[in-house]
Structure 1
Amino acid sequence: MRTTGRVLMALAAVLTTTVWAAEPAAPRRPSVEQLQPLIVNRAPQTRVDTPDRERITARRLDIVDDNGVIRMTLSGQTPAPIIDGIQYKRAFNVAGMVLYDDKGSERGGFGTADVNGGMAVLALDHPAMDAIGWRVSPDGEVRFSINQAPPLVREPKLDNRLVPGVQTPTRITLIVGSNGTPAIALNDAQDRARLRLTVTPEGYGAIEFLDAQGRVVQTLAPEADAARR
């Protein structure tokens, strides 16, 4: 941990004091020459064939509370989600950590999803539905969503357990598109974006008002308006 801390501090020092490599139409980045002294290993070990005595090698690690309830699971293939005592299929495998409440229901987690190209995900949950979620997609899009809490619906045919996936609107979405365009959208109760803050391709800040069909009905962009005069 101390060695890792030194590497991170060194990297932070380089990134905050360096003169960035100047490349036309390219993102700002440190040069290879600046990164070279920070490289520890170009081919680090990423898998273990046989366990050794210096670390724990396992497919799954469970952390329990004083009552024996699993409160955290770390796994290369996280278990399917448990909601109010019933386990449901997961849409795709996620390697990472899952958090549970004192009843054993999944309440969040983070990891990498086994989808084409790979995806990094993080979520914190309402009792039976995602509450907030981060997603870093293979195409470079980064999305953060905040969902309204759904009503808690119980089903007698499921022993009066909570029903997962009750539809609820996403009320706030923050996104940086794969092309770098940022936007913050505020949605109505029908999950329709009605107000959006964004930056135009020309670099002007803008506020867009949308109708129920998703059409922009008014745009406020004072700087852009001034530039057109």
Structure 2
Amino acid sequence: MKLDASRAIGAYAAVTTLALAWLTLGANAGPKPATFDTIDVQRINVREPDGTLRMTIASRNRMPGIIVAGRETPHPDRPQAGMIFYNDEGTENGGLVFSGAMKDGKPTNLGALSFDRWRQDQTVSLSSDEAGDKRQAGLAINDRPDRPVDFATVARLVRQPASAERDAAIRAAGVGIATRAFLGRTEDKASVLALRDANGRKRLELKVAANGHATIDFLDDQEHVARSITDVNR
């Protein structure tokens, strides 16, 4: 059989062109997403291409500790399942957690969505908390110390017996809170808007009690009512 060189070259060029086109289209298309009907899993980590952790979804037993810039410290108290958010440097900055069960014959339940300061604790939280007949739900705005928390030191200190010295050391490690505002339902079944100063002292409260009685209280710097306005029609 006589081989025609021009035809062979043409065929080679055609095959090469088709191969390059296939490779180019395949590269642009990217990997095909996997599809599942059901996934049973205890933990999912969402990461950036460089490995930075951005979000974790986990069961209670697989929830991570406190992660700061990629380094993990055991959490002193997080017995919930949920979702934890991480910022661009891989530091925890909020989350959605939930739990609930019968304890000592009483129902308990918690759901909370919160957002943190940089390397600090939550400054905004939306929560519903129930323990037997004690129930509270609302939105809280908090101030936190300007310095970051030394989480490793706090994790070590909270395992020590309670004492004034231990509590002072925990505060020195950057733990602190001053609630500035709360809007919600309190344990006494009232609806409340409470505003506080930079030291966390309540200075103004608008309240409608469970019986419908409404009040506006102005408080001094010792949280004593200095002036009160009530619904005069009652």
Distance 2:75 2:173 in 1: 11
Equivalent residue in structure 2 for 1:147, among 137, 142, 146: 142
Amino acid at match of 2:85: L
| % identity of equivalent residues | 26
Which residues in structure 2 correspond to 1:208-227 (within 5 Å)? 208-221=217-230, 224-225=231-232, 227=233
Q: Find out whether 1:180 has 2:178 as its counterpart.
A: no
Larger Rg: 2
3-state SS, counterpart of residue 51 of structure 2: coil
TM-score, normalised with respect to structure 1: 0.64
Distance 2:136 2:177 in 1: 23
Give 1:176 shift.
0.2
Equivalent residue in structure 2 for 1:98, among 65, 68, 84: 84
1:126-177 C-alpha deviation (Å, 9 max, x unpaired):
011211112211133103211124312487x98xxxx874324111111202
Give 1:217 shift.
2.0
Amino acid at match of 1:89: H
Distance 1:104 1:140 in 2: 34
Q: Find out whether 1:136 has 2:128 as its counterpart.
A: yes
TM-score, normalised with respect to structure 2: 0.63
3-state SS, counterpart of residue 170 of structure 1: strand
C-alpha spacing 1:92/1:143, structure 2 compared with 1 (3 Å): same
Amino acid at match of 2:141: I
C-alpha spacing 1:133/1:164, structure 2 compared with 1 (3 Å): farther
C-alpha spacing 1:154/1:75, structure 2 compared with 1 (3 Å): closer
- In structure 1, stretches of 5+ residues that fail to align are 1-52
Stretch of structure 1 that moved more, 181-190 or 112-121: 112-121
Contact 2:65 2:72 in 1 (8 A): no
Amino acid at match of 1:173: F
C-alpha spacing 1:73/1:212, structure 2 compared with 1 (3 Å): same
Which residues in structure 2 correspond to 1:1-229 (within 5 Å)? 54-77=37-60, 78-84=63-69, 85-113=71-99, 116=103, 117-127=108-118, 128-138=120-130, 139-153=134-148, 165-221=174-230, 224-225=231-232, 227=233
C-alpha spacing 1:107/1:153, structure 2 compared with 1 (3 Å): closer
C-alpha spacing 1:202/1:180, structure 2 compared with 1 (3 Å): closer
C-alpha spacing 1:187/1:205, structure 2 compared with 1 (3 Å): same
Question: Does 1 or 2 have the higher relative contact order (CA < 8 Å, sep 6+)?
Answer: 2
C-alpha spacing 1:145/1:74, structure 2 compared with 1 (3 Å): same
Distance 1:113 1:66 in 2: 32
- In structure 2, stretches of 5+ residues that fail to align are 1-35, 154-171
Amino acid at match of 2:109: G
Distance 2:207 2:197 in 1: 18
Give 1:212 shift.
2.9
